[in-house]
Structure 1
Amino acid sequence: MLNRRNFLRAASVATAGSLAGVRLNALTGAEGGRKIAANDHIQLALIGAGIQGQGDTKVALEVPGVKLVAVADCYQGRLDHSKELWGNDVFTTRDYAEILARTDVDAVIVATPDHWHMKAATDAMKAGKDVYCEKPMIHLYSDGPEIIETARATGRIIQIGSQRVSSKIYLKAKELLAAGAIGELNMVSARWDRNSAMGAWDYTVPLDASTETCDWPRFLGTAPAIPFNPEHFFQWRKWKAYGSGVAGDLFVHLFSGTHFITGSKGPTRAMATGGLRFWKDGRDAPDVMLALFDYPEGFNLSLRVNFVNGGEDNEGFLFTGSEGTMEIAGNSVIVSRQPREKGPGLSIGTYADAMQGRLIEEYHKKYPIPHPMSLPPLGEDKYVAEPGYSDHYDHFYNFFSSVRSRKPVVEDAVFGFRAAGAALLSNLSYEKDSIIHWDPEAMKIV
Structure 2
Amino acid sequence: MMKKDRRSFIKKLGIASVTAAVLPSTFAAETKHVNILNRHLLADTTKVLKIALIGAGGMGSSDTNTALEHKNIELVAVCDLYDARLDNAKKTWGSHLFVTKDYKEILDRKDIDAVIIGTPDFWHKQISIDALNSGKHVYCEKPMIRNIDEGQDVINAWKKSGKIMMVGSQGMSSLGNEKAKELLAEGAIGELNYAEGFWARNSPIGAWQYPIPKDASTETVDWQKYISISKDRPFDPLRFFRWRNYLDYGTGMAGDLFVHLFSSLHFITNSLGPNRVSSTGGLRYWKDGREVPDVQLGMFDYPETKEHPGFNLSLRCNFVDGTSGGTYLKLVGSKGSMDVEWDRVTLKRNAGGASDDPFLAEKAKEGSNQSDRKQIMPPLETVYNAQDGYKGAHYDHFANFFDAIRNDGEVAQNPIFGFRAAAPALLCNESYRKNEFMGWDPEKMKRV
**For the structure 1 residues 2 and 129, does the alpha-carbon distance in structure 2 shift closer, same or farther, using more than 3 Å as the test?**
closer
Q: CA RMSD in A?
A: 2.5
Q: Does 1:201 align with 2:208?
A: yes
TM-score, length basis structure 1: 0.86
Alignment correspondent of 1:137? 144
CA contact (8 A) 1:336 1:379 kept: yes
**For the structure 1 residues 349 and 275, does the alpha-carbon distance in structure 2 shift closer, same or farther, using more than 3 Å as the test?**
closer
**Equivalent in 226, 242, 256 of residue 233 of structure 2:** 226
Output the CA distance in 2 between the equivalents of 1:330 and 1:61: 21
**Equivalent in 345, 365, 370 of residue 333 of structure 1:** 345
* DSSP 3-state at the match of 1:419: helix
Identity of aligned residues (%): 49
Output the CA distance in 2 between the equivalents of 1:107 and 1:330: 26
1:387 is displaced (CA, Å) by 3.6
Q: Does 1:408 align with 2:410?
A: yes
* DSSP 3-state at the match of 2:320: coil
Unpaired runs of 5+ residues, structure 1, are: 24-38, 342-346, 357-368
1:444 is displaced (CA, Å) by 1.1
* 1:288-346 CA distance string (max 9 Å, x none): 000100001311000000000111220001111111111124521101111569xxxxx
Q: Does 1:96 align with 2:103?
A: yes
Output the CA distance in 2 between the equivalents of 1:233 and 1:226: 11
Q: Does 1:310 align with 2:322?
A: yes
1:388 is displaced (CA, Å) by 4.5
1:240 is displaced (CA, Å) by 1.1
Output the CA distance in 2 between the equivalents of 1:191 and 1:251: 9
Where do 1:378-397 residues align within 5 Å? 378-389=379-390, 390-397=392-399
TM-score, length basis structure 2: 0.86
Alignment correspondent of 2:132? 125
* DSSP 3-state at the match of 1:427: helix
Alignment correspondent of 1:252? 259
Alignment correspondent of 2:113? 106
CA contact (8 A) 1:316 1:330 kept: no
Unpaired runs of 5+ residues, structure 2, are: 1-18, 24-33, 305-309, 354-362
Q: Does 1:299 align with 2:291?
A: no
Alignment correspondent of 1:440? 442
Alignment correspondent of 1:12? 39
* 1:220-270 CA distance string (max 9 Å, x none): 132111000011110100001000000000000000011011110000001
* DSSP 3-state at the match of 2:436: coil
CA contact (8 A) 1:141 1:421 kept: yes
**Equivalent in 312, 326, 331 of residue 319 of structure 1:** 331
Output the CA distance in 2 between the equivalents of 1:235 and 1:350: 60
* DSSP 3-state at the match of 1:142: helix
* 1:79-105 CA distance string (max 9 Å, x none): 000000011110000000000000000
1:8 is displaced (CA, Å) by 4.0
CA contact (8 A) 1:118 1:147 kept: yes
- How many residues matched? 404
Output the CA distance in 1 between the equivalents of 2:129 and 2:290: 29
**Equivalent in 138, 154, 158 of residue 161 of structure 2:** 154
* DSSP 3-state at the match of 1:253: helix
Alignment correspondent of 1:26? none
**For the structure 1 residues 349 and 263, does the alpha-carbon distance in structure 2 shift closer, same or farther, using more than 3 Å as the test?**
closer
